[in-house]
Amino acid sequence: MANKKKTTIKDIANVLNISAAAVSKALHNNPRISDKTKKAVLQVAENLNYQPNHLASALRSGKSKLVGVIVPKTNSNFFSATIHNIEEVLNEEGYNVIITQSNESYKKECANINTLLFTQVDGIIASMANETTDLSHFQKIKDAGIPLITFDRGENDLNVDYIGIDDYESSHKIVNHLVAQDCKRIAHIGGFKRTRIYNNRIKGYIDALKKHNLPLDNELLIESSLTTEDGREKMQKLLNLKQRPDAVYVAGDYAALGALQVLKEQNIKIPEEIALVGFGDEPFSKMVTPPITSVNQHSYKIGRMAAKTFLDYIEKDTFKQSLKKQILEAKLIVRESSNKKNDLE
């Protein structure tokens, strides 16, 4: 079966008996083309299922009106909400968004960047994969003179704009809350130290324990991939200790969900015997029993700020990058899983 021929500007021009140049101008809303002609061109383009060639347009104009977004996963409420707000802001300014996900894979992230660069995107907004330690693929974006804005997970070594929450201070808020609930043996199921945000959460946890004169027990500090299954496994590991924790702070809500499942299966009273705190404020965190205390990361603000930071570069017509950090204060949402005293915060 022969491939169906792709409609071109010339095909539209032939139907209307006008020049290809006039069709191109009409499609780009050129003021020199009459509204009547523009309407006719758009109608024929729709009838013929015309699809504009963004790559060719980018090569001619130097602007593709495309922005690439790279996230570790799209099934996270934080990332999906952030993408939604990035797209909303950029669509209003005539930009389309190409969404890619790394699935926490360094190789996939490299492939995503190569694809976006080949597509001639005008900018890239990215949150890094857990596996990423070598930043050379991100340096390629800078070397190409394309704005790179990182959010949530980004590395200072790149000297690019970054938008996120104060992860270090967030850990202090969590530990302060648990201490106020009379918890004295607080465990932390964290992400991998090699990722900056999780390293900052671990540092915040350690320093907060010191502030409250609580001992740091290495058995209570566990790195993990923060999946639901990993949360189950690490929670069981903590329960197998001779001296169990009386509180567990988990650096991600999916892992916190796994931890909650294990506690309930073993009939451990939450929060009376073990208090539980997650991170990310996923929708399910307030729907499970008991609802999970968690940290809201301001996905709405972060998405819009990332998009507007990109637009600032376009408006200034300069891609000289600087390390501009925009740090938001995270909000601790206290729910039943940790609220022994029924305090409202």
293 and 315: one domain?
Answer: no
- pLDDT for the residue 145: 86
In a domain, 338, yes or no: no
241 and 100: one domain?
Answer: no
Task: Supply the CATH number for residue 36's domain.
Answer: 1.10.260.40
- Paired tokens of 120: 């001639």
Strand 96-101 to 123-126 pairing: unpaired
Q: With b meaning 16 or more CB within 10 Å and e meaning fewer, what string describes 88-108?
A: ebbeeeebebbbbbbebbbeb
Which 3-state string (H, E, C) describes 278-298? CCCCCHHHHCCCCCCEEEECC
Q: What is the pLDDT along the chain (345 residues), one digit of tens a residue?
A: 445 577 888 899 999 999 988 888 888 778 888 989 988 988 998 888 887 766 566 555 567 889 999 999 888 889 999 999 999 999 999 899 999 999 989 999 999 999 999 888 999 999 998 888 888 899 899 888 899 999 998 766 778 899 999 999 999 999 999 999 999 999 999 999 988 899 999 999 999 999 999 988 999 999 999 999 999 999 999 999 999 999 999 999 999 999 999 999 999 999 999 999 999 999 999 999 999 999 999 999 999 999 999 998 888 765 565 667 899 999 999 999 999 877 654
152 and 201: one domain?
Answer: no
- Paired tokens of 125: 């907004």
Distance separating alpha carbons of residues 305 and 308, to the nearest angstrom: 5
In a domain, 223, yes or no: yes
- pLDDT for the residue 322: 60
Distance separating alpha carbons of residues 45 and 214, to the nearest angstrom: 69
The CB-side HSE value for 128 (13 A sphere, CA atoms) comes to 27
The CB-side HSE value for 290 (13 A sphere, CA atoms) comes to 23
146 and 36: one domain?
Answer: no
182 and 138: one domain?
Answer: no
- Paired tokens of 60: 């001619």
- Paired tokens of 254: 């999916």
Whether 119 and 64 have beta carbons less than 8 Å apart is answered as yes
Give yes or no for a cis peptide into 271 (omega within 30° of 0): yes
Q: Is the dihedral of CA 185, 191, 192, 198 positive or negative?
A: negative
Q: Which residue range(s) make up the domain with 185?
A: 167-297
In a domain, 60, yes or no: no
In a domain, 335, yes or no: no
In a domain, 345, yes or no: no
- pLDDT for the residue 1: 41
In a domain, 278, yes or no: yes
Q: Enumerate the β-bridge partners of residue 101.
A: 71
Distance separating alpha carbons of residues 242 and 261, to the nearest angstrom: 21
278 and 321: one domain?
Answer: no
Q: Which of 297, 317, 336 is the last residue of a domain?
A: 297
- pLDDT for the residue 20: 86
What is the enclosing helix (H) or strand (E) of 78? helix 77-92
- pLDDT for the residue 299: 92
Q: What is the pLDDT of residues 237-293, one digit of tens each?
A: 999 999 999 999 999 999 999 999 999 999 999 999 999 999 999 999 999 999 999
- Say which DSSP state 293 is in: B
247 and 142: one domain?
Answer: no
225 and 312: one domain?
Answer: no
In a domain, 342, yes or no: no
- pLDDT for the residue 324: 79
278 and 173: one domain?
Answer: yes
Q: What is the pLDDT of residues 28-68, one digit of tens each?
A: 778 888 989 988 988 998 888 887 766 566 555 567 889 99
Instruction: Name the residue with tokens 């104060």.
Output: 166
Distance separating alpha carbons of residues 317 and 311, to the nearest angstrom: 10
In a domain, 256, yes or no: yes
84 and 31: one domain?
Answer: no
Q: How many domains does the chain have?
A: 3
Residue 307, helix vs strand vs coil: helix
Number of H helices, E strands in the chain: 12, 12
Task: Supply the CATH number for residue 204's domain.
Answer: 3.40.50.2300
191 and 286: one domain?
Answer: yes
- pLDDT for the residue 345: 46
> Closest Cα partner for 179 from 218, 135, 214, 227?
214
Q: Any idea what the Cα angle at residue 298 is, between residues 296 and 303, rounded to 5°?
A: 145
181 and 262: one domain?
Answer: yes
